[in-house]
Amino acid sequence: MLKNSFKEKININLLLYLGIIVVSVLILTFLDMNKREYIYAISIIERSLVFAVAALAMNMVTGFTGLFSLGQAGFMALGAYTTAILTIPVELRPNVYYMEGILPALENLSFPIPIAVILGGVVAAFFAFLIGIPILRLKSDYLAIATLGFSEIMRAVIASHMMDKITNGAYGLNNIPEFSSSIECFIYTSICIIAMILIINSSTGRDFKAIREDEIAARSVGINIFKTKELSFVVSSFFTGISGGLLAMYMSSINSSTFQITLTYDVLLIVVLGGIGSITGSIVGAFFVTAGKELLRFFDEPLTVAGVNVPLFKPGFRMVIFSILLMVVVLFFRKGLLGGKELSLNGFKKYSRKKEDKGIQVGGAS
């Protein structure tokens, strides 16, 4: 009986997710067909999808393995630059590397976009493997500081003069191929999210969670703590690198300033707001944060009421309002919007039952 009920819950939730995917494809198809009218909405959706991948990758190592890593901006930079270098049209490269020229080995090296994006993830994973050997022996704040330092080192190296023939140094890269449609972006991000869901729900993912809960207990049942942490760190960095490549395609031009510490903080904000240890929370959080910042943009514009300028409405004020809204959300949802749980029909049913019970109690008390 228990097995049957468990299978029924899985089937119901699977239908829910499939329904969300179908509805999303229909909405995106409509938006693409009317691209001129809805270009702003498409831009918000694409950016949200890219950050959903980055947030879930961070959640894998932070929320599911318990490692506090702040190197996301560095790994995104590696993925973004790798993808950009390998996809910029060969005939346009002289216009991009107009100062110092391009390295001869890269002059005619070109890959299809999907392969270039994957290679961006591989490069990020390779660096994660190298630095993971020494820094994953650190814990808590020390690990966060080490990964944050790595991120800043990578940004400095990318912008340095010695990298001019590869990354174009401080001038950055442009003419990066953009998404042909929002459906293309949705496909890339969906594949990444589904892959991460499968990993998290696999036996490997259960090892991640065991380490998060209790390292001593995990070691006692035969889990190799260091190797499992290294695997989580490498896999997370792989998908973070892919998200960097997708961000490069979304922006069509990048430079070292794109990958400052604030980028890592934005991803961390999404993870915490959506719910640490929640897959669907990272996705919901990405849309909430990205759309929230854009929808409040009118606060940055001057406002005149009855001929009097309202002093608060000026550039930067929207972030004040956004910060206040975040504080309100955190006060009411201290564990994030989904609180470490997943979006499911059963969750909706439980929530509605609680509301009904409260209504009955209030009615009975009166």
Residues 288, 294: Cα–Cα separation, whole Å: 10
Residues 82, 249: Cα–Cα separation, whole Å: 12
Phi, psi dihedrals of residue 68, rounded to the nearest 5°: -90, 90
CB half-sphere exposure, 76, CA atoms < 13 A: 33
pLDDT digits (tens, 9 = 90+) for 234-274: 999 999 999 999 999 999 999 999 999 999 999 999 999 88
The stretches of 252-315 forming alpha helices (DSSP H) are 261-274, 279-295
pLDDT digits (tens, 9 = 90+) for 33-76: 998 899 999 999 999 999 999 999 999 999 999 999 999 999 99
Please name which of 191, 174, 66, 64 lies closest in space to residue 118, comparing C-alpha atoms.
191
Mapped onto helix, strand or coil, the DSSP state of residue 206 is helix
Whether the CA torsion 251, 254, 257, 263 is positive or negative: it is positive
Averages of pLDDT over each 10 residues, the chain, 366 residues: 50 76 92 91 94 95 91 95 95 90 90 96 96 88 91 93 90 92 94 94 92 90 92 96 96 92 92 89 92 79 66 73 80 77 61 51 50
Q: What pLDDT score does 2 carry?
A: 44
Q: Write the single-letter amino acid at 325.
A: L
Give the distance from CA 160 to its chain's centroid.
Answer: 27
Phi, psi dihedrals of residue 99, rounded to the nearest 5°: -90, -60
Residues 142, 211: Cα–Cα separation, whole Å: 18
Please name which of 247, 235, 266 lies closest in space to residue 128, comparing C-alpha atoms.
235
Please name which of 67, 55, 72 lies closest in space to residue 209, comparing C-alpha atoms.
67
Phi, psi dihedrals of residue 208, rounded to the nearest 5°: -55, -50
Residues 124, 131: Cα–Cα separation, whole Å: 11
Please name which of 286, 66, 290 lies closest in space to residue 189, comparing C-alpha atoms.
286
Q: What pLDDT score does 304 carry?
A: 64
